Chain A
């Protein structure tokens, strides 16, 4: 009972601490905390318009997080996810620009192209890792920058806007390519995200593939001896995560920006890593956590508009929350308060 209380305490503590940090930061810049929280709420989830905005940013984040669930299960740190988003967006943009057709054809085509782009970039990190023994963190990091460089090159080079070579982005896509909206809600993007999260949930929970992936991540040697082709499973994890990241990139290009911009990834790949860390690798948690994160991010822009604060406060709170959660998890493991069952990537090393 006592253990249970303490465990709950350690789970709640990060939230309390993060809230305290938020209050302190707001006081430090002379902002009224309660009014600020109210602004964040109203500016993100409080009105239908804002909710639609927030949900549109939720889509790429939750797609990235869902993909990362898969790579983390296989014991891999897919830092290359940012690049996978970017390449997905680039391929989707290519289709959007070069392939003619009506919406019913061109939208699925951009989605498919985005997935292919993400898969290619994911597999590149995977091949470097599996066959070249290049650590996926640094290999992925390198590929992120290569992808961004490629995007910038395309934007100011071959795909530059008529007459101006600027880094503000390509020309807007023609209207058929835009993902459809109803009442401001980008229903197609949302549907894709929801399906992706459910699919990953069942993949990890209900399939032999997910189970084998977890075995590969938790103990590569045992998994190999059990007859699992571990190399192929690691590559598959990279490919699947790449596909979801590519979808995120496509959504960014065709539903949000309606063009290719240099910062097309929106940082959702890295933020996705935070989401998955806070969710402690549990798929069911990524959707609400991602929504909370996006509510903070989108709502924080209100603080900037109304109170003249920097909107980065949303990011600060996200980071503080994850940091405290990690530390609390470390303390908990240290005290042996119950064994947390985590297969795949682990936060606390034995």
Chain B
């Protein structure tokens, strides 16, 4: 039980990042900068919390930093028609180095962090209470984000428009939807959530700042978005599976050191497998034959992803 609670808690930053990137990509934009964005926002959150003593301001700083990077990607793609991969990639490396440089004075310091807070009542429920409701606001926030994103994307008119913009921008435009404005908005919102991931690392899960604190988690998040088929709930499940792998690796470390090093690779192997799978005909037909499974199996990227929308 304790392990389950640990998995839920350690996976929470990834959940923010995965949901944020899912929203961005659903709108047809790839924010490839995740690995750097998370790093820089983790540093910004920690530094802000260290200086001001406020965890809230820490989160806010992280959101602003990461949303700013996202806005730059949106701008360079929408206004300047630059390749999203190129800009995102440069920003990945730049943000990570910037985090190392600016974060140097804060290495090894202690700052205000997210305090544990068991939800009264709910945390008393046997089993479930311990696993889900005896954490802190950052972890509860990750639940909320998943549910809210799912509800927004699949249950509201605005969410439908968001999907439309990423799926077929010309068609969305023909229906009077301001494609590029929405792309700005959702890229920035997605970026903000990625920033929360950074804050959740430095102010909760990993407590503190050091070089490379969140290294590779951005790439892992990008892989989980694909594995999750651009669906927030499946994405979150992916995060928890990864959290389980991490915890397992930690447990196995003393008994089976070799294996514990291999487990973190699994998300990437699964990502490649997922990408390969959706290309196979029999897999596509599976969804057609069993309509009930379709939602579960649907793994196609938004068709308009990475494509610049111009009127003519």
Q: Chain A interface (Cβ within 8 Å of chain B)? A: 25, 28-29, 77, 79, 128, 132-135, 137-139, 141-146, 148-149, 152-153, 156-157, 165, 270-271, 273-274, 277, 309-310, 312-316, 318-320, 322-323, 326-327, 329-331, 333-334, 346-350
Contact = CB atoms under 8 A, between A and B. Distances in A.
Nearest to B270: A142
Interface in B266-306: 268-269, 271-272, 275-276, 279
Given A132-B276, A315-B94, A347-B86, 17 more contacts: A79-B89, A128-B272, A128-B275, A128-B276, A141-B219, A142-B223, A145-B216, A156-B257, A274-B89, A310-B100, A312-B98, A315-B93, A323-B94, A327-B82, A330-B82, A334-B81, A348-B81
A83 B79 CA distance: 34
Given A309-B104, A312-B101, A138 B80 contact: no
B272 A138 contact: yes
A141 B223 contact: yes
Contact of B272 (A25, A134, A270, A314): A134
A149 B90 contact: no
A25 B100 CA distance: 13
A132 B226 CA distance: 16
State the 8 A-B residue pairs at the shortest beta-carbon distance, nearest first: A319-B94, A330-B80, A315-B97, A312-B100, A310-B104, A142-B268, A149-B265, A157-B258
B82 A320 contact: no
Contacts of B262: 149, 153
* Contact residues of B: prevailing secondary structure: helix
Contacts, number: 154
A196 to B, nearest CB: 23
A177 B279 CA distance: 45
Given A310-B101, A330-B80, A347-B82, A323 B87 contact: yes
Given A315-B100, A348-B82, A138 B226 contact: yes
Given A134-B279, A157-B258, A349-B81, A271 B93 contact: yes
B119 interface: no
Q: How large is the interface on B (under 10, 10 to 19, 20 to 34, 35 or more residues)?
A: 35 or more
Contacts of B136: none
Contacts of B226: 138
Interface string B84-116: 011101111111111111111100000000000
Contact of A134 (B79, B97, B222, B276): B276
Contact of B83 (A310, A323, A346): A346
Contacts of B223: 138, 141-142
B199 to A, nearest CB: 21
Interface of B: 32, 76, 79-83, 85-87, 89-105, 211, 216, 219, 222-223, 226, 257-258, 261-262, 264-265, 268-269, 271-272, 275-276, 279, 308
28 contacts: A29-B104, A132-B275, A132-B279, A135-B275, A138-B275, A139-B272, A142-B268, A142-B272, A145-B219, A145-B268, A146-B268, A153-B262, A309-B101, A310-B103, A312-B104, A315-B93, A315-B101, A316-B98, A319-B93, A319-B94, A323-B90, A323-B94, A326-B86, A327-B82, A333-B80, A347-B83, A348-B83, A349-B81
Contacts of A327: 76, 80, 82
Contacts of A320: 94
A153 B82 contact: no
A25 B279 CA distance: 47
A330 B97 contact: no
Nearest to B100: A312
B264 A349 contact: no
Contacts of B96: 315
Contacts of B103: 310
Nearest to B98: A316
B245 to A, nearest CB: 12
Contacts of A326: 76, 82, 86-87, 90
Contacts of B276: 128, 132, 134
B81 to A, nearest CB: 5
A143 B223 CA distance: 12
A330 B98 contact: no
Q: Which of A77, A128, A274, A316 has the most CB of B within 10 A?
A: A316
